[in-house]
A and B are shown apart, each in its own frame.
Chain A
């Protein structure tokens, strides 16, 4: 009950921000309100779901929840990409699954929980990976689709010289990977100096030794950075294969 009171009080701050936005007419109030409401609802549901799952641990349940999270992630990533193309959801799903699942498996084996799928570790791990990789994939593909559409004539002029699709789009590819990785690189650069990562904060608040929390946080950050890089690279590559046919002719 005390938690709900805290939530209600904190929500007042959001309402104040929404009122400020309405007064300033900057058009952000509605989005801020909806985003906050969604967060409250989703996180509360997650809290209840995790409580239940932790009380009834099973491999099948962990895999089902992980699958649901992966599909949700691919759907969210798709909605964030403004210039869409046919097959974008499957590309997102493939890039996410191919990157996240092996990493989550390696991560849980490396941390050494018993069993490897222990929900208390596996679900937060896959959740953190998905959240960050979703961001990277959507940023990377969004930038790539935008660039190839707006700079189509430039790409055509390179293809015309005899460049292969990959030669003609490599410059775009590199830029888009950088765009996809920038938020994560910025976060990593300031981590420990400017910010204390959320997961580490949670563990410390939960009474964990800060040294142990730091090790787990570092492991997670390594997995996340690898995931964002591999995920965005796979996603952009898949997008390129859809946007150009095997003969190198643009399909948009």
Chain B
């Protein structure tokens, strides 16, 4: 599904990366190692150079960037549009041209009601905003979710709920996941093993 060879990030780290259909990769690493940079580069949100960068067998240069990003969806660890209400936040993607005439299920709205997420984002806790981001992401059209520390602000119960939501999405859509986390046990709870970010790195500036 995703094939990356010789991706040179802006912090001069070079990486190879593969993600199969319905795959799951959990990546761990210390702060500042470039994990988020890597995730944003996969999402085509940051400048990077590469030898090969294919999604669904097609080179990134052949993809319309908006369509690609809607398919390979980067999900940040928090929300930023704090003046928006929860409903406006859920509605926002519907206004984007890339989703065209897509029919939207009411699942995201239902989940927000279930978790009592309402009002302005500014009054929600960090954890509530984080679960809201996940709820919105799984209601979109993505084939790959790039989750940047998706449970870092959640208590153990909510983290468990979030993990279930993510895995249900993976099973129902046959989509793929890349998850960045500092938490050692997250990978085993998701039924896989984690990869150290340093193991993906082919070369770094300091070793060149």
Taking Cβ atoms with an 8 Å cutoff, the residues of A that contact B are 151, 153-154, 156-164, 167, 245, 247-251
Contacts and interface: CB of A to CB of B under 8 A. Distances in A.
A242 to B, nearest CB: 14
Given A153-B76, A154-B81, A161-B70, 10 more contacts: A162-B66, A162-B70, A162-B93, A162-B98, A164-B66, A245-B47, A247-B65, A249-B44, A249-B45, A249-B65
A161 B93 contact: yes
B97 A154 contact: no
B67 interface: yes
A248 B98 CA distance: 14
B162 to A, nearest CB: 18
Which of A153, A160, A167, A248 has the most chain B CB atoms closer than 10 A to its own CB?
Answer: A160
10 cross-chain pairs, A with B, having the tightest CB-CB distances, nearest first: A162-B70, A154-B80, A162-B98, A160-B74, A247-B65, A162-B66, A162-B69, A161-B93, A248-B65, A163-B96
A163 B76 contact: no
Contacts of B69: 159-162, 248
B99 interface: yes
A161 B65 contact: no
B78 to A, nearest CB: 9
Contacts, number: 63
A159 B45 CA distance: 7
A160 B97 contact: no
B73 interface: yes
B80 A249 contact: no
21 contacts: A153-B76, A153-B80, A154-B81, A157-B76, A158-B92, A160-B69, A160-B73, A160-B75, A161-B70, A161-B92, A162-B66, A162-B67, A162-B96, A162-B98, A164-B96, A164-B98, A167-B95, A167-B96, A248-B65, A249-B44, A250-B45
Contacts of B81: 154, 157
Contacts of B47: 245, 249, 251
B92 A156 contact: no
B76 A164 contact: no
Contacts of B80: 151, 153-154, 157
Interface string B32-76: 000000001001111100000000000000000111011001111
Contacts of B74: 156, 160
A167 B66 CA distance: 11
Contacts of A251: 47
B117 interface: no
A164 B96 CA distance: 8
A161 B45 contact: no
Interface in B187-206: none
Nearest to B75: A160
A156 B67 contact: no
Contact of A156 (B40, B95, B96, B99): B40
Nearest to A166: B97
B152 interface: no
Contacts of A161: 69-70, 73, 92-93, 96, 140
Contacts of A250: 45-46
Given A151-B80, A156-B76, A163 B45 contact: no
Contacts of A164: 66, 96-98
A167 B97 contact: yes
B155 to A, nearest CB: 24
Given A153-B76, A154-B80, A160 B67 contact: no
